[in-house]
Amino acid sequence: MATTTEPVVVRSAKSGAEPLLVIRNVAKSFGKNPVLRDISLQIAEGEFLTILGESGSGKTTLLRIIAGFESANSGEILMEGERLDLLPPYRRRVNTVFQHYALFPHLTVEENVGYGLRVAHAPKDDTATRVSEALAMVKMTAFASSKPGKISGGQQQRIALARALVNRPRLLLLDEPLSALDANLRRQMQVELKSLQREVGISFVFVTHDQEEAMVMSDRIALLRMGELEQVASPREIYSHPTTAYTAQFIGHTNLLRGEIKSGIAQCHSLSWRIGLPAGPALFSLRPENIRIVTSATGSSDINVVTFSGKIQHQAFHGATELLQIVCDDGLVLSVRTATRENRQGDLHLEFSPADAVPVRESPERG
Amino acid sequence: MFSRAYRAAITLPPLLWVAVFLLVPYALLLCYSFWSVSPAQTIIHAWTFDNYRELFRVNVYLQTLFRSMWIAARVMIFSLLLGYPLAYYLSFYAGARKDLFYQLVIIPLWVSYLVRAYAWKTILGSDGVLNTLLQYVHLTKHPLEFLLYSPFAVVLTLTHIYTPFAVLPIYAALEHIPRNLVEASHDLGGSPLQTFWRVIFPLSIPGVLAGATFAFVLSLGDFLASLLLGGPSGIMISNIVVSLFGAAYNWPLGAAISLCMLLLVVSLLFLSEKLEKKWSFR
């Protein structure tokens, strides 16, 4: 069937370059319990890729397979064209920032950071220089001789980062490194981490369950659902063009409209618009901010807008914006995000562009 | 708030227990060590330092004490050499069989000390299992005499008996090492051997110290193994104390030796606790 499909967006820092890491058909199960099924993914040089998913989606397992702490049941992983998955973890040019930092409690901050260089028998002077550079990079020079038990969580976080980066890995893996920090520090670290990544130019694979964090930091997001990749795209792409209902709901907030397409017209409840898709049942994602409140019913025959009216059922104040639950005249309930305004009452006239109602696939049941 | 009477009622029994069974005996021991025995075998209740002078004047006491310490030190070393790999295997590699192996380490502790000592006697004696076997395969023509009634036999038996005491604290220390530290070491390029020496072993030191202290202190005070298997060359300091309180009927000298041992052991415990603190990070 010749339909236009979404263009596959592969962003790469060096366009045309070979991908740094290629994950090919990786599958893993624990006992009879499949955790990852047929994962294929590429990571470009200098890219910040986030593996996003709920708990139990298999994201940490995928990270541990790349690091070498778990082995895949099938598939292969290549780094710069060579098999990575056959090497033990201590031979991989990959370093990890662990979820709970995993700093060595019996070593000082400095010794922790220098650990990788010391086990590699790097020259002493060189080690000292690189360790102090790494500590300066994360602004922890003053704590060089402290033990990890004596510094705060945020500081431990920085040391874990310095300890990994000082080895100049080809790829840095981060396993929910910010999840133990409180909200403010977390936002600050997101910005720091992102700018640090740009500075050092190392590819980052960042695992998180927090979609906002993924949006803020990533070049691309790989959304994992029950062991399978749901969608891999840039934050903008994945937000504005989710391919499945699950993606649309997991990334941001959305309205899912169930309807039918008949001879070029999409019909959802009483709403209808022109569409260039074949006939059949359909599902659309319509972001709350893409529905506009207009002053009067234009009754327009403009085919580029869908107009309707409804009443406010519920109103949630979010500061600059508010989220309204609108009951349309035909009983359909929609979320609408608008700039905050007081005294909104009575019937509202609303509209949206058909282009904003993104057709999405039903996410199949898995288990 | 609890009434005074109630508080007194619940604190009194333990206090009494400690007083009657610990403080009073130690006080008596202390008193005895400064008393003496008359030629007519009665205790003279007059203060004197003679017992302590005797202890340092007669070579056999100090020699036996040093021999006991040397035996205890060997037991400690062999217990650690046997116990550490066992504890390490249990903690890191036993997997699903962990509980089973753990029980196997514990079970010998339920078997009477005497049974185990006699078992070694049966194995090591001149008509014993080992000598019979050695002669049967023509490795030796005559029974090896040094096997039984020697310091060797004492060290062997005590090592057998006290190795579980070394295994358990080492195992506990190893179990407390977060596994992500091991992963972190591998991740940073540490080979399994480097990971062991730079991460696992340093973090298990408190357990090693506790195990070493157990093996040493328990062996130092032991008298049954040396009594049953030691022979004349395997006499330990406790055997002397036993005979002083028994046949020799010199309680004051026995008390003086006991107190010196107590002092030694308490200082060792103190030292090992200090070291354990220095090496623990939680």
B-chain CB neighbours of A103 within 8 Å are: 184
Residue A68 to residue B186, Cβ atoms within 8 A: yes
At A93 the pLDDT is 94
Superfamily, domain B58-278: MetI-like (1.10.3720.10)
Q: Which residues contact A243 (CB under 8 A, 6 or more apart)?
A: A6, A230, A231, A360, A361
At B108 the pLDDT is 86
Pairing mode of beta strands B43-44, B36-37: antiparallel
DSSP state of A244: B
Average pLDDT over residues A130-144: 94
Place of tokens 């003086």: B256
Q: Which of A244, A271, A301 is the last residue of a domain?
A: A244
Segment (H or E) for B170: helix B151-175
Q: Is residue A319 part of a domain?
A: yes
Q: Is residue A226 part of a domain?
A: yes
Asked if residue B55 lies in contact with residue B63, where contact means CB atoms within 8 angstroms, the answer is no
At A216 the pLDDT is 92
At A16 the pLDDT is 53
Q: Helices (DSSP H) in chain A: which residue ranges?
A: 59-67, 109-119, 124-137, 153-165, 183-200, 211-217, 235-240, 245-250
Residue B187 to residue A104, Cβ atoms within 8 A: no
Q: How far is B269 from chain A (nearest CA, A)?
A: 23
Average pLDDT over residues A216-243: 95
DSSP state of A341: -
B120 CB burial (10 A radius; 0-12, 13-18, 19+)? buried
Segment (H or E) for B56: helix B50-57
Position A36 confidence tier, pLDDT thresholds 50, 70, 90: very high
At A184 the pLDDT is 87
**One domain, residues A50 and A140:** yes
Pairing mode of beta strands B43-44, A33-43: unpaired
CA separation for the pair A33, A48 (Å, rounded): 30
At A10 the pLDDT is 45
pLDDT higher than 70, residue A288:
yes
Asked if residue B167 lies in contact with residue B89, where contact means CB atoms within 8 angstroms, the answer is no
When scoring B188, B199, B279, B282 by the number of chain A Cβ atoms within 10 A, the one with the most, hence best to mutate, is B188
User: Hey, what are A335's tokens?
Assistant: 């979320």
Output the CA angle B76-B81-B86, nearest 5 degrees: 120
Output the CA angle A339-A344-A348, nearest 5 degrees: 95
Identify which of B180, B189, B202 has the shortest CB distance to residue A90.
Answer: B189
Q: Which residues contact B246 (CB under 8 A, 6 or more apart)?
A: none
User: Hey, what are A327's tokens?
Assistant: 């009951």
CA separation for the pair A358, A242 (Å, rounded): 8
Q: Which residue of A has its CA nearest to B191?
A: A90
DSSP A119-167: HTT--HHHHHHHHHHHHHHTT-GGGTTS-GGGS-HHHHHHHHHHHHHTT
Identify which of B186, B188, B202 has the shortest CB distance to residue A167.
Answer: B188
pLDDT higher than 60, residue A11:
no
Q: Which of A244, A274, A297 is the last residue of a domain?
A: A244
Q: Starting at the edge strand that comes first in sequence, how are the strands of the sheet with A265-268 ordered?
A: A271-274, A265-268, A255-262, A280-286, A358-359
When scoring A93, A96, A115, A173 by the number of chain B Cβ atoms within 10 A, the one with the most, hence best to mutate, is A115
pLDDT higher than 80, residue A326:
yes
CATH of residue A196 = 3.40.50.300
At B2 the pLDDT is 74
pLDDT average per 10 residues of sequence, chain B (282 residues): 84 92 93 90 88 90 93 97 96 90 90 89 86 86 84 94 95 95 97 97 96 95 90 89 90 93 94 90 67
Judge if ipTM > 0.90.
no
**One domain, residues A114 and A236:** yes
Residue A115 to residue B203, Cβ atoms within 8 A: no
Average pLDDT over residues A8-18: 51
First to last CA, chain B: 35
A-chain CB neighbours of B275 within 8 Å are: none
Asked if residue B119 lies in contact with residue B229, where contact means CB atoms within 8 angstroms, the answer is no
At B161 the three-state DSSP class reads: helix
A164 touches chain B (CB under 8 A): yes
B184 touches chain A (CB under 8 A): yes
Which pLDDT tens digit goes with each residue over A347-364? Answer: 888 999 999 999 999 877
CATH of residue A307 = 2.40.50.100
Q: Is residue A180 part of a domain?
A: yes
DSSP B179-237: HHHHHHHHHTT--HHHHIIIIIHHHHHHHHHHHHHHHHHHHHT--HHIIIIITGGG--H
* Backbone CA torsion sign across B118, B121, B127, B130: positive
Q: Is residue A219 part of a domain?
A: yes
Q: Is residue A74 part of a domain?
A: yes
Which pLDDT tens digit goes with each residue over A104-116? Answer: 999 999 999 999 9
**One domain, residues A51 and A181:** yes
Q: Which residue of A has its CA nearest to B205?
A: A106
Position A300 confidence tier, pLDDT thresholds 50, 70, 90: low
pLDDT higher than 80, residue A128:
yes
Q: Which residues contact B229 (CB under 8 A, 6 or more apart)?
A: B117, B120, B121, B124, B148, B149, B150, B153, B154, B157
Q: Which residues contact A139 (CB under 8 A, 6 or more apart)?
A: A158
What's the domain count of chain A? 2
At A297 the pLDDT is 59
Region of residue B138 (left: phi > 0; alpha: psi -120 to 50; beta: else): left
Identify which of B178, B180, B189 has the shortest CB distance to residue A167.
Answer: B189
**One domain, residues A61 and A166:** yes
Segments forming the whole domain that contains residue A345: 253-359
**One domain, residues A154 and A273:** no
A67 touches chain B (CB under 8 A): yes
At A298 the pLDDT is 60
Q: Which of A244, A264, A291 is the last residue of a domain?
A: A244
Residue A106 to residue B203, Cβ atoms within 8 A: yes
At A301 the pLDDT is 61
B118 CB burial (10 A radius; 0-12, 13-18, 19+)? middle
A positions 84-103 inside 8 Å of B (CB): 88-91, 94-96, 98, 100, 102-103
At A8 the pLDDT is 45
Number of residues that this document lists for chain A: 367
A105 touches chain B (CB under 8 A): yes
pLDDT higher than 50, residue A3:
no
One-letter amino acid for residue B264 of the chain: L
Asked if residue B37 lies in contact with residue B43, where contact means CB atoms within 8 angstroms, the answer is yes
Residue ranges of domains in chain B: 1-29, 58-278
**One domain, residues A44 and A97:** yes
Give the residues across from A27 on adjacent strands.
A74
CA separation for the pair B140, B123 (Å, rounded): 16
At B147 the three-state DSSP class reads: helix
